Structure 1
Amino acid sequence: MPAIVVLSGAGLSAESGLGTFRDTSGLWARYDLRDVATPEGFARNPQLVHDFYNARRANALASEPNAAHRALARLEAALGLEMYCVTQNIDPLLEQAGMRRVVHMHGQLMRMQCAGCGHRWDAPASTRADDPCPACNGPHTRPDVVWFGEIPYYMDEIAEALESCAVFVSIGTSGSVYPAAGFVQIAREAGAHTVELNLEASETASQFDELRQGPASAVVAQWVEEILSAHRDTNPV
């Protein structure tokens, strides 16, 4: 089981130019969440939802991993299976930084799914509501992302990791969206040391043993170097 569980949120990718739904400017500010990030919104106007995710996909494809993504990739390279990284982000920047095992609890921007048969496939750059499913040919194509009101992916696997880890680290999360906001409590009850790395204190900051504030590119990179130094000391070549 992993020694370290990392949870990352939108703050990890903000410095790469990917905004959050709390931003007062940018892509999210032009849409109502109820229209583009709920099953009900998709049922009302599926093409609007496709247009929104086409824009998000274009934004992500034009972005690059920042120092925080690269630091986490270095940590995974050193720790291997001792590290378990779960992200609320749907962008591919952690993988682009070199990470091999990322658990996307809210799905992936670069994947599509069929709401009819459940088939999943890689997303093209642009999609439409009437795109047929490659498997069943039905007109039920939607982004493979978890919307408000839907159950996140891999919850049993994530819970198992939280209940057995020695360290839980939350990076760039608001602490307001459940079930991820409850991960710190699960880890604490299991005896883990808990750390929050964030631009500012989250809504659950009081539950963490350790708080570090600043841009992700700085605080994540510093924390990772400390962990790597300790790892080298205990695992000399």
Structure 2
Amino acid sequence: MNEDRSIPRHIAIIMDGNGRWAKERGLPRREGHRAGAESVRECVEACKQLGVEYLTLYAFSSENWNRPAAEVTALMALLEKFLEEKSSELMKQNVRLKAIGHLDRLPDRTRRKLDKAIERTSGNTSLTLVLALSYGAREEIVEAARSLAADAVAGKIDPAKIDNASFAARLYTAEIPDPDLLVRTSGELRVSNFLLWQISYAEIVIFKKFWPDFRQEDLREAAQEYARRHRRFGGL
């Protein structure tokens, strides 16, 4: 564990602006998503250099299933390509891959490739890369509440003893520390149903540039801004 408190232990990123980046260049939206893959590589490298332990990327939201079928298909194909091409690189960099979300909604082939990459990298220790796929924070919270309610009805737990820790243990991120820093690209000022419980005390840094233009120096700039802030967690 990195003991330097000026370095965020966990960075979460809302990777926004792929479509607008492509539109500005007269390209199909899928080209924006494809260009964004290089930004992922840059961020992984920067996190490793800084000593960040967890990097969570909002790769595909539960609402993204409502996009045109052709775009969803292209996104799944890009995810498969990323998993195929980057697994060896993740192994070389000692990066562990994890995923959170409604993974059962992914196409069978995509899920198989994801599971294979997760298993292959499970022993790596330098950085944990978490992909939020088919993810929605409200759904996550409802599922956690439903799980606790079922156990209470069955007499397995005392409802009066449910606390923050027992609730957090039912979330997808039960084994992952809460983000210290939330980064969003494209200049939008919203959290878009992303890690609503987990980012309660996260510092937030917004970049106007679109995700495909995000580079290592930008992530370092966000980390430097984080280091300048005094985290009070509701206190003085």
TM-score normalized with structure 1 length: 0.40
Higher relative contact order (CA 8 A, sep 6+): 2
